[in-house]
Amino acid sequence: MAESEVIAGLDIGTDKIRVLVAEYGSRGELIVSGWGESRSDGLRKGVVVNIESAREAVQAAVEAAEHESGRTVTGLWASLGGSSVDSLNSRGVVAVSGKNREIGAADVERVLEAARAVVIPMDRDILHVLPQEYIIDDQGGVRNPKDMIGVRLEAEVHIVTASVSATKNMTKAVERADYKVRDVALGSLTAARALLSEDEKEMGVLLVDIGASSTDYILVQGGAPRITGSIPVGGAQATSDLSIVLKTPMDAAERLKRESGCCWEPLADSEEPVIIPGVGGRPPVPVLVTELCRILRPRMEEIFGLIRDQVAKYPGASRLAGGIVITGGGSLLSGVTELAGRVFEQPARLGQPKSSVKWPEICRNPNWSTAAGLILLGDAVMRKGVVNEHPENTAEDSGVFKGLVRWLGEFF
């Protein structure tokens, strides 16, 4: 890759907008050189509701990252998640057309096109077509069918769709800030790229990304995504619980949750009180950490319980030998992994970016997992020479759709 290439990942969340900037060193290695964040003004539940406010927020985050890196950003790889995203599984079948029935790249692309030929509402676009497995003449479990011999080729895929209005409004806000949208990817998918090991993806793992107003999840098994989804509950609801019960403003409740909150009783200091600031001239009130835990635990249990019930619909959900990986801002609450382990009855860990990239210390915070995955997405696609030069087109209308299919297929 040319040293001048710059990759920028844009993670648009309900609470914060985060941007990472990376570039290539003299030996072609990827170097993360800048980061910036801003408040998510103009957004609600991860969806743009005010174009101008969102534009200003995106611009502020990008400019902070540019200042840190000393590089100029022109295009962004963006994430999408929350209620604007939905998914389904599908299957496509084609006859092998290659000479001597040898499966070629054209056959693979045709079967993926056949699999994505499903009826979806007019207000939705296909965001990703993620291959799960290929089947050649009833022989399943094939990861890469190219160059194999067969008469009939089938593909089982996981299709992710996104709201047209959510995608276009986000793109419009970014473009008004004078940046191009290189492409849009599912946030939990990019986080999985940054956080999950090959062994975890093969054995079965559930990634849970706890955001401010929603929690996204993706179940990967046999090296492929099986379920993706979102529930409309996140860390902000836990903060609201503290605010209501303790009769304190939301900003004070959020600070209290971050600094002293806990959702697992064995980790709560039963004797150490924290001070709740008074409101309207009332004096401050001391509260035990165990009381904070009593307030926070039910909401966190609700989040994990709702996801557990959703993924239980998948037959292989009980065989997640890779356990649970927790990320997102909500994962920073003390006791989250212990509580998740109890609810799912699986081992749980906190997710941190893993790859050959030397991540700055700030990127090791779960808040930056999606942005880190976007950097890896941009790197993988650019190394294959597939870049969206027509951001006004949807991914499936441009060459990027095929590029993303190749990258995602190789990833999983």
Which pairing describes strands 75-80 and 180-186: parallel, antiparallel, or unpaired? Answer: parallel
What per-residue confidence (pLDDT) applies to 4?
57
The answer to whether 162 touches 98, Cβ cutoff 8 Å, is no
Measured CA to CA, the distance from residue 227 to residue 229 in angstroms comes to 7
Q: Which candidate, 39, 37, 41, places its Cα nearest to that of 19?
A: 37
Q: Is the pLDDT of residue 399 over 50?
A: no
DSSP element (H, E) containing 317: none
Q: Is the pLDDT of residue 38 over 80?
A: yes
Predicted confidence band at 242 (pLDDT cuts at 50, 70, 90)?
very high
Most confident of 25-34, 160-169, 346-355: 160-169
What per-residue confidence (pLDDT) applies to 388?
45
Measured CA to CA, the distance from residue 409 to residue 404 in angstroms comes to 8
Could you tell me the CA-to-CA distances from 358 to 70, 170, 307, 355 in Å, in that order?
Answer: 18, 30, 32, 8
Q: Is the pLDDT of residue 383 over 80?
A: no
- Residue ranges with strand state E in 211-259: 215-221, 224-231
Mean pLDDT of the chain: 88
Higher pLDDT, 336 or 380: 336
Q: Is the pLDDT of residue 393 over 80?
A: no
Q: Is the pLDDT of residue 23 over 50?
A: yes
What domains does the chain contain, in order, with CATH numbers?
6-83+164-191+353-411 (3.30.420.40), 84-163 (3.30.1490.110), 197-351 (3.30.420.40)
Q: Is the pLDDT of residue 395 over 50?
A: no
Q: Is the pLDDT of residue 11 over 90?
A: yes
Q: Is the pLDDT of residue 342 over 60?
A: yes
Convert the pLDDT of each residue in 182-228 to its tens digit: 999 999 999 999 999 999 999 999 999 999 999 999 999 999 999 99
Q: Is the pLDDT of residue 146 over 60?
A: yes
What per-residue confidence (pLDDT) applies to 408?
52
Q: Which of 66-70, 139-143, 238-242, 388-392 has the lowest mean pLDDT?
A: 388-392
What integer is the mean pLDDT of 314-342? Answer: 92
In the chain, pLDDT over 90 holds for what percent of residues? Answer: 70
Sheet of strand 30-39, all strands in order from the earlier edge strand to the far edge: 30-39, 16-24, 6-12, 75-80, 180-186
What integer is the mean pLDDT of 23-46? Answer: 88
Convert the pLDDT of each residue in 346-377 to its tens digit: 999 999 887 668 888 888 889 999 999 999 98
Cα atoms in the 13 Å half-sphere on the side-chain side of 197: 11
What per-residue confidence (pLDDT) applies to 341?
96
Predicted confidence band at 230 (pLDDT cuts at 50, 70, 90)?
very high
- Residue ranges with strand state E in 81-151: 85-95, 124-136, 139-142
Measured CA to CA, the distance from residue 134 to residue 132 in angstroms comes to 7
Measured CA to CA, the distance from residue 183 to residue 190 in angstroms comes to 12
In the chain, pLDDT over 70 holds for what percent of residues? Answer: 92
Q: Is the pLDDT of residue 174 over 90?
A: yes
- Model-level pTM? 0.90
Q: Which candidate, 296, 383, 311, places its Cα nearest to that of 346?
A: 311
Q: Is the pLDDT of residue 168 over 70?
A: yes
What per-residue confidence (pLDDT) applies to 268?
86
Convert the pLDDT of each residue in 258-281 to its tens digit: 999 999 999 987 777 888 887 877
What per-residue confidence (pLDDT) applies to 134?
96
Q: Is the pLDDT of residue 138 over 80?
A: yes
The answer to whether 261 touches 296, Cβ cutoff 8 Å, is yes
What per-residue confidence (pLDDT) applies to 355?
67
Q: Is the pLDDT of residue 145 over 50?
A: yes
DSSP element (H, E) containing 273: strand 273-276
What integer is the mean pLDDT of 19-33? Answer: 90
Which pairing describes strands 215-221 and 348-350: parallel, antiparallel, or unpaired? Answer: unpaired
Q: Which of 54-68, 92-106, 231-245, 337-351 has the lowest mean pLDDT?
A: 92-106
